[in-house]
């Protein structure tokens, strides 16, 4: 009988086949992935599904007993339109609701507030009053439907409205089932839809823990989110580590506020992104369960349910492309399979058009049916943890556990996640990863099919959904006025005064807000009552330096841009100056930060504007800073309102010389509208940043040849 081949024999054979080529893959997480894994690489027994530390799943039967919940994240325009969309989806096989709110709502403003003119109804549903919430769930029984709500900044009024809407449907709050995101640390790191400073924000979370543990036993009081970290550029190790560290911080705050850990920890849930690194994402969900079990054991939890990490997942938005968008169906399918094989409890699949707009009924149906086909046609649900025991998966899971734990220990050394977030290093780490990723994409090292490889000669137009922002806002303002006219004003103001006093003292803020909601206080009024005591938080972005430029040493195209910047500097007597502006209430700043970092590395003088500016504030800062170009970064569909207003105001000031460019999530059919308004350069998703810089130099009068000629 022949000897059994050894790994050394395999290595010799593989090296001969590829002529000595190094087959080791260095991932962005710093993991060296080998081309072959054997039993020797598995150092930890993963155990069995349903048993600690839950590596292989939180239930013994997993999907063989019950598939994951199909939960589509949606909301747009008015409560009426969103309700109709939900009901169509539920009739077509969706099992749970996941509500997207507009940015005005997220930031605690009513739709009639002057700061939110371009945001109302654009990237989610506008909710100003209990009446809006009742319409949102009209015909959807809240004692039978699980409802997830992505809300953090205005979490108190939104949850209060939900409770009162349930009451007025005849549903006792003890029967309300679902999840509120309520994850403010992540907002301070990446998503930025915060309202109050960190300390009172953490108190709000503790108050929600206390209220829901007493009054809402079926409701998940927090969904600790790594999703937005990965969307902001975090590696999977960073997403994993910071999410677990956030969760631990919330539990510690809950215990410090007097709650029994085992009374509330079992109602915590998690939310992870699922990107295109297929096996890494599967291993990440397994590693998360191991880490959470370790963390909760160390914190003194006794109930195994308290140590069990349950998670919702959503396929990546960042992986979707504007170019050749039907490829997005394939990407979402691959990501959905990774979530399923990793053991998620519920899943949202993104629609193919979400790189540029809200999903249409057509695209949402494909996204939803992706999950239904996996559940019903593939046989994947018939085996519990089908990849359990894979040499590669088990080894990768342990690598992720170890690397994430190193970051968690650094957080510990800083005194916890709240202090680490205040120090700023987690945010900086994520922004460095985002800039490095953009450089790899721009250089073609990370392939994106249809964007930097296999690009179509011409793109077909894609029909997208557009919300009439002005019409929605007009309707919302009318409803706000009607609610205020019909309420008992004295009772409402008394409830708001009680909320202010509770904020100054130790009253439970959610309980007080429920009283205010019953009295028909608006979302903006409830938020403002707490803002009177806590204040409103704000920050100015700080771009990272040297990360984007690092891979470009010796690159001819890069050098051509550097030379162009130097030439413009000689002509102007100073560096060309770009302001990166974030107008409206959109806090997603990955794109803006990457542009600021990259242009800074290319020699531009970059002014990073504060988040949440109005066009008026942007004009003042642009003129005071003496900029040559304002780059308006748009993600949340306010571009047709905010950018033309910016240009109009610049012209009013006699500053036609300041050029305005736009970048981000802008549907191609809006390009002509923006050009007619005076926008001189538009750079959508997938734009190469080096080529964008060359184009800006041309706008500044530099005779810049096409970069291809520089090779």
Could you give the C-alpha distances from 114 to 118, 479, 537, 609, 645, in angstroms and in order?
Answer: 9, 17, 18, 19, 13
Q: Are 235 and 437 in contact (CB under 8 A)?
A: no
The one-character DSSP state at 658 is S
User: What integer is the mean pLDDT of 69-97?
Assistant: 80
User: What integer is the mean pLDDT of 335-342?
Assistant: 98
- 235-289 residue pLDDT tens: 999 999 999 999 999 999 889 888 899 988 888 889 999 999 999 999 999 999 9
**CATH code of residue 116:** 3.20.20.240
pLDDT value of residue 637: 63
User: What is the domain count for the chain?
Assistant: 2
Residue from 529, 494, 495 nearest 512 by CA:
495
pLDDT value of residue 191: 85
pLDDT value of residue 152: 92
3-class DSSP state for residue 83?
A: helix
pLDDT value of residue 329: 97
Tokens encoding 240: 């994993």
Residues whose CB falls within 8 Å of the CB of residue 2, separated by 6 or more in sequence, listed in order: none
Lowest mean pLDDT among 5-14, 44-53, 684-693: 5-14
Last residue of a domain, one of 359, 394, 423: 423
Q: Specify whether 639 is catalytic.
A: no
Q: Are 153 and 193 in contact (CB under 8 A)?
A: yes
As to burial, measured by CB atoms within 10 angstroms (0-12 exposed, 13-18 middle, 19+ buried), residue 20 is: exposed
Q: Specify whether 122 is catalytic.
A: no
Q: Specify whether 672 is catalytic.
A: no
Residue from 651, 458, 445 nearest 555 by CA:
445
Q: What is the dihedral of CA 549, 634, 180, 148, to 10 degrees?
A: -110
More confident residue, 639 or 567: 567
| 16 half-sphere exposure, CB direction, 13 A CA radius | 6
Q: Which residue has 């977030």 as its token pair?
A: 421
Q: pLDDT class for 52, splitting at 50, 70, 90?
A: very high
3-class DSSP state for residue 113?
A: coil
Check pLDDT > 80 for residue 179: yes
Edge-to-edge order in the sheet of strand 605-608: 605-608, 577-581, 629-634, 659-664, 681-683
Residue 510 within any structural domain of the chain: no
Residue 547 within any structural domain of the chain: no
Query: Angle 278-298/391-413 helices, nearest 10 degrees?
Result: 50
Check pLDDT > 90 for residue 124: no
Residue 381 within any structural domain of the chain: yes
Q: pLDDT class for 130, splitting at 50, 70, 90?
A: very high
How far apart (Å, rounded) are the C-alpha atoms in residues 616 and 637? 19
As to burial, measured by CB atoms within 10 angstroms (0-12 exposed, 13-18 middle, 19+ buried), residue 219 is: buried
Tokens encoding 25: 């893959």
Whole-number average pLDDT of the chain: 91
**CATH code of residue 610:** 3.40.50.280
Q: Are 486 and 479 in contact (CB under 8 A)?
A: no
Which one of the listed residues 73, 109, 194, 392 is annotated catalytic? Answer: 73
What is the pairing mode between strands 96-99 and 605-608?
unpaired
pLDDT value of residue 636: 61
pLDDT value of residue 119: 86
- 496-539 residue pLDDT tens: 999 999 999 999 999 999 999 999 999 999 999 999 999 999 87
Q: Specify whether 253 is catalytic.
A: no
Last residue of a domain, one of 423, 455, 476: 423
User: What integer is the mean pLDDT of 37-63?
Assistant: 95
What is the pairing mode between strands 681-683 and 659-664?
parallel
609 φψ region: left (φ > 0), alpha (ψ -120 to 50), beta (else): beta
Q: pLDDT class for 655, splitting at 50, 70, 90?
A: very high
Check pLDDT > 80 for residue 93: no
Tokens encoding 511: 């309980």
Residue 433 within any structural domain of the chain: no
Last residue of a domain, one of 423, 444, 473: 423
Q: Specify whether 326 is catalytic.
A: no
Residue 457 within any structural domain of the chain: no
Check pLDDT > 60 for residue 326: yes
Check pLDDT > 50 for residue 711: no
Q: Where are the alpha helices (DSSP H) in 327-468?
A: 327-342, 361-377, 391-413, 417-423, 425-442
Q: Which residue has 């550029």 as its token pair?
A: 233
Which one of the listed residues 63, 194, 227, 250 is annotated catalytic? Answer: 227
Residue 115 within any structural domain of the chain: yes
Residues whose CB falls within 8 Å of the CB of residue 332, separated by 6 or more in sequence, listed in order: 315, 320, 349, 350, 351, 352, 367, 370
User: What integer is the mean pLDDT of 343-358?
Assistant: 88
- The parent domain of residue 251 ranges over 65-423
Q: What is the dihedral of CA 49, 50, 51, 55, to 10 degrees?
A: 50
- 203-217 residue pLDDT tens: 999 999 999 989 999
Check pLDDT > 90 for residue 585: no
- 395-406 residue pLDDT tens: 999 999 999 999
Which one of the listed residues 228, 284, 403, 659 is annotated catalytic? Answer: 228
Residue 629 within any structural domain of the chain: yes
Which one of the listed residues 293, 588, 640, 659 is annotated catalytic? Answer: 588
3-class DSSP state for residue 12?
A: helix
Residue 582 within any structural domain of the chain: yes
DSSP 316-350: -STT--SSSTTHHHHHHHHHHHHHHHHT-SEEE--
Check pLDDT > 70 for residue 75: no
Tokens encoding 186: 């992540």
Q: Specify whether 73 is catalytic.
A: yes
């Amino acid at each position: 009988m022949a000897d059994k081949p050894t790994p050394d024999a395999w290595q010799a054979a593989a090296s001969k086949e590829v002529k000595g080529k190094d087959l080791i893959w260095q991932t962005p997480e710093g993991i060296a992935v080998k081309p072959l894994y054997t039993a020797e690489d598995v150092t930890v027994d993963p155990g069995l599904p349903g048993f600690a530390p839950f590596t292989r799943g939180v239930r013994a039967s997993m999907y063989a007993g019950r598939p994951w919940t199909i939960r589509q994240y949606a909301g747009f325009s008015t409560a009426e339109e969103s309700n109709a969309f939900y009901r169509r989806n539920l009739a077509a096989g969706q099992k749970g609701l996941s509500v997207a709110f507009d940015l005005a709502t997220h930031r605690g403003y009513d739709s009639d507030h002057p700061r939110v003119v371009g945001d109302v109804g654009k990237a989610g549903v506008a909710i100003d009053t209990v009446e809006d919430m009742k319409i949102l769930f009209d015909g959807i029984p809240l004692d039978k439907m699980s409802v997830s709500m992505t809300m953090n900044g205005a979490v108190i009024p939104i949850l209060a409205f939900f409770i009162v809407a349930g009451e007025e449907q005849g549903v006792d709050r003890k029967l309300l089932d679902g999840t509120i995101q309520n994850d403010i640390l992540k907002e301070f790191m990446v998503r930025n839809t915060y309202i109050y400073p960190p300390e009172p924000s953490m108190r709000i979370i503790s108050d929600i823990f206390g209220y829901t543990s007493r009054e809402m036993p079926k409701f998940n009081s927090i969904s600790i989110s790594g999703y937005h970290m990965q969307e902001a550029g975090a590696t999977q190790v960073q997403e994993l580590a910071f999410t677990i560290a956030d969760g631990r911080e919330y539990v510690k705050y809950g215990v410090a506020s007097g709650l029994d850990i085992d009374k509330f920890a079992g109602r915590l849930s998690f939310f992870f992104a699922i990107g295109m690194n297929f096996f890494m994402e599967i291993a990440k969900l397994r590693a998360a369960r191991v880490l959470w079990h370790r963390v909760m054991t160390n914190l003194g939890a006794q109930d195994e349910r308290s140590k069990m990490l349950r998670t919702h997942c959503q396929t990546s938005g960042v992986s979707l492309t504007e170019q050749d968008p039907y490829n997005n169906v394939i990407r979402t399918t691959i990501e959905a399979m990774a979530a399923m094989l990793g053991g998620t409890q519920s899943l949202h699949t993104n629609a193919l058009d979400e790189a540029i707009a809200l999903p249409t009924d057509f695209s949402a149906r494909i996204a939803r049916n992706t999950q239904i086909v996996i559940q019903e046609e593939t046989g994947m649900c018939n085996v519990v943890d089908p990849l359990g025991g894979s040499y590669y998966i088990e080894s990768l899971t342990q690598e992720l556990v170890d690397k994430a734990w190193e970051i968690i220990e650094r957080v510990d050394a800083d005194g916890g996640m709240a202090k680490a977030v205040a120090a700023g290093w987690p945010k900086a780490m994520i922004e460095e990863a985002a800039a490095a990723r953009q450089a790899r994409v721009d250089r073609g090292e990370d392939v994106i099919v249809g964007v930097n490889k296999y690009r179509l000669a011409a793109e077909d137009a894609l029909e997208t959904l557009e919300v009439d922002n002005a019409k929605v806002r007009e309707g919302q303002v009318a409803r706000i006025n009607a609610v205020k006219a019909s309420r008992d004003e004295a009772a409402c103001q008394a409830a708001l005064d009680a909320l202010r006093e509770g904020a100054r003292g130790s009253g439970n803020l959610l309980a007080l807000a429920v009283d205010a909601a019953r009295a028909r206080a608006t979302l903006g009024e409830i938020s403002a009552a707490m803002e009177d005591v806590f204040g409103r938080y704000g920050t100015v972005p700080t771009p990272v330096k040297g990360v984007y430029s690092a891979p470009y040493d010796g690159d001819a195209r890069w050098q051509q841009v550097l030379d162009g910047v130097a030439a413009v500097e000689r002509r102007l007597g100073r560096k060309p100056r770009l302001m990166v502006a974030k107008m409206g209430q959109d806090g997603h700043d990955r794109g803006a930060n990457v542009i600021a970092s990259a242009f800074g590395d290319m020699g531009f003088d970059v002014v990073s504007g504060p988040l949440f500016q109005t066009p008026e504030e942007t004009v003042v800062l642009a003129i005071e800073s003496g900029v040559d170009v304002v780059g308006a970064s748009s993600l949340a569909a306010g571009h047709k309102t905010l950018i033309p207003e910016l240009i109009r105001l610049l012209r009013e000031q006699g500053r036609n010389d300041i050029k305005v460019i736009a970048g981000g999530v802008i549907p191609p059919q809006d390009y002509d509208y923006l050009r007619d308004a005076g926008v001189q350069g538009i750079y959508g998703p997938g734009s190469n940043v080096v080529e964008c810089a060359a184009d800006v130099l041309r706008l500044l009068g530099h005779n810049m040849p096409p970069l291809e000629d520089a090779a």
